[in-house]
């Protein structure tokens, strides 16, 4: 149902149309029918005095006295026919059968209905706006919370990694200190053990056998010179001389060297195989690594 409708000529209708009123410009044939239809659809029906004079007086009085729709006769834009003259032509009073109090009550009712409708629209718009704001706020807060959770997870993960790295570093440092202490104690023992091995006949036999096998596989053939630690028994020297003479076809020279604590050094044409105690212990880093590996294997 529309709020306000107007029955008027084209000139009057133009101004009301700009104001947003539902305007109708009927012809003579459908004037009464259009008027009666609008009275059933609109809350307020405005009729220019000229058109009101053309309506059946009984129909106009009936709709003016009805309480459902307020019917008002107004002057047209040209002022050709006034509302009072139109009412006189219809043989009715100026108030159209409706008292001033009734007109006031009708207008007040219309204003209240329009006010209530406007309030409902405003409240509905406000509620919709509030829902939209809540949804947007909820979405923003969820996104913010998600970012905070991710940041906190990343911070905790980084902290865990830092603590783990610190723990591993501390363990490695402690292990390094422990290994250094072990090696510091083990190195003199290794030297002493090799020294004692050279002092025994079985130890010298195995030591010499290993050195000669490596020399025969790597040094050039020819006149070899064997520099050995003092105190090597003559019988063992003779056995080594005979073995090498048979292998090389040339008798080697054997010479005692006081700088050698244990073992021997074999020279051949500028090449050298150092099988002395000092030569065996020359690569200390590799020997310490192997020693730690052996100790680790024993502790498993």
CATH code, domain carrying 41: 3.40.50.10580
94 domain-assigned: yes
Q: Is the dihedral of CA 125, 131, 132, 133 positive or negative?
A: positive
- Give dist(CA 262, CA 279) in Å, integer: 10
Rg of the chain over Cα atoms, rounded to whole angstroms, equals: 62
- Give dist(CA 295, CA 300) in Å, integer: 9
pLDDT for residue 22: 87
What is the tens place of the pLDDT at every residue in 139-161? 999 999 999 999 999 999 989 99
pLDDT for residue 92: 47
pLDDT for residue 88: 41
Regarding whether 206 and 286 lie in a shared domain, the answer is yes
Of 52, 39, 53, 46, nearest to 16 by C-alpha is: 46
Provide the 10 A C-beta neighbour count for residue 124: 10
- Give dist(CA 38, CA 30) in Å, integer: 12
Token code pair at residue 156: 């905790």
pTM of the entire predicted model: 0.42
Among the three residues 98, 113, 136, which one is the final residue of a domain in this structure? Answer: 98
Boundaries of domain holding 250: 200-299
pLDDT for residue 11: 86
Residues of the chain with pLDDT under 50: 81, 84-98
Among the three residues 83, 98, 113, which one is the final residue of a domain in this structure? Answer: 98
Number of domains present in the structure of the chain: 3
Of 194, 198, 224, nearest to 212 by C-alpha is: 224
Phi, psi of 72 (to 5 degrees): -125, 135
Among the three residues 82, 98, 114, which one is the final residue of a domain in this structure? Answer: 98
Regarding whether 266 and 244 lie in a shared domain, the answer is yes
105 domain-assigned: no
- Give dist(CA 90, CA 97) in Å, integer: 12
pLDDT for residue 94: 41
């Amino acid at each position: 149902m529309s709020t306000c409708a107007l029955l008027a000529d084209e000139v009057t209708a133009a101004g009301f149309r700009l104001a947003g009123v539902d305007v109708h410009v009927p012809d003579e044939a459908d004037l009464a029918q259009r008027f009666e239809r609008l009275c059933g659809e609109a809350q307020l029906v405005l009729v220019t005095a000229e058109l009101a004079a053309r309506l059946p007086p009984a129909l106009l009085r009936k709709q003016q006295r009805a309480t459902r729709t307020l019917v008002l006769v107004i002057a047209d834009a040209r002022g050709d026919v006034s509302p009072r003259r139109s009412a006189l032509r219809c043989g009715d009073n100026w108030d159209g059968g409706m008292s001033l109090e009734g007109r006031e009550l009708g207008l007040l009712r219309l204003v209240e209905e329009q006010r209530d409708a406007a309030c409902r629209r405003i409240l509905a718009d406000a509620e919709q706006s509030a829902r939209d704001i809540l949804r947007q706020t909820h979405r923003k807060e969820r996104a913010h919370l998600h970012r905070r959770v991710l940041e906190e997870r990343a911070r905790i993960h980084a902290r865990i990694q830092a603590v783990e790295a610190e723990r591993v570093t501390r363990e490695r440092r402690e292990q390094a200190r422990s290994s250094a202490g072990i090696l510091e104690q083990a190195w003199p023992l290794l030297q002493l053990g090799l020294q004692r091995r050279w002092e025994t006949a079985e130890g010298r036999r195995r030591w010499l056998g290993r050195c000669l096998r490596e020399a025969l596989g790597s040094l050039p053939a020819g006149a070899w010179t064997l520099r050995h630690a003092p105190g090597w028994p003559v019988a063992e020297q003779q056995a080594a001389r005979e073995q090498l003479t048979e292998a090389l076809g040339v008798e080697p020279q054997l010479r005692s060297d006081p700088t050698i604590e244990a073992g021997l050094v074999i020279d051949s044409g500028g090449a050298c195989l150092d099988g002395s105690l000092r030569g065996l212990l020359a690569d200390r880093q590799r020997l310490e690594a192997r020693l730690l590996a052996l100790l680790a294997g024993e502790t498993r």
